[in-house]
Amino acid sequence: MSDVLYIETLKVCHRHADRLQWAMTELQKQIPFSVESLEGLNGVEIAILDQFSTRFSRLQDVMGLKLFPAVLELTKEQGDLDAFIDKLNRLEKIGAIDSAADWLVLREMRNAFSHEYPDDPEIQAAIINKAFVLADQLIKILNDVEVFATRFTSFSG
């Protein structure tokens, strides 16, 4: 059963990652964002920027809430880990992720997206610019976790 949960969760993660990557590609010419470039976005570009922030947040959420616990279950490393930081530390210890601290930075970025700063375009631009760098890291972690987990699953494909 843990294989099925893992595979289904991985599919959801990849859907978010693919759409995140698409949004990043579409917005690449805007990087780095500035107050002026944010103010100059047209409706389509704003929608793509929304897609970027939404997919970043959803991918980070699904990985933290579902993928990581599924990997711990696959590896039989779940143990008695109630606190999320304990799960992150275990994932780091077994080599599924490089750094629990890096994941917490990604979580902070996700939280920054949930707070809108409509009256401060400088903060908005800074958040988006930082998120673009961190989005690559988020996708890399997904890929690294998938490679790690293949040793523990009977799924091939």
Which residue do the tokens 């579409």 mark?
A: 26
The Cα–Cα gap between 134 and 111 comes to: 13
Contacts (Cβ under 8 Å, ≥6 apart) of 35:
121, 122, 125
pLDDT tens-digit map of 138-155:
999 999 999 999 998 875
Per-residue pLDDT, 59:
97
H-type alpha helices, the chain: 2-27, 35-39, 43-62, 68-74, 84-94, 100-114, 121-149
Per-residue pLDDT, 20:
98
Per-residue pLDDT, 118:
67
The Cα–Cα gap between 17 and 2 comes to: 22
pLDDT tens-digit map of 39-82:
999 999 999 999 999 999 999 999 999 999 999 999 987 667 78
The CATH architecture assigned to 2-149 reads: Up-down Bundle (1.20)
pLDDT tens-digit map of 19-35:
999 999 999 998 999 99
Q: With a threshold of 0.75, does the pTM exceed it?
A: yes
Name the residue with higher pLDDT: 78 or 114. Answer: 114
Per-residue pLDDT, 58:
96
CA 116 to centroid of chain Cα atoms: 19
Does the pLDDT value for residue 1 go beyond 60?
A: no
Token pair belonging to 143: 């890929």
**Closest CA relative to residue 21, chosen from 116, 143, 150:** 143
Q: CA angle 83-88-92, nearest 5°?
A: 150
Per-residue pLDDT, 76:
87
Q: Where are the domains of the chain?
A: 2-149
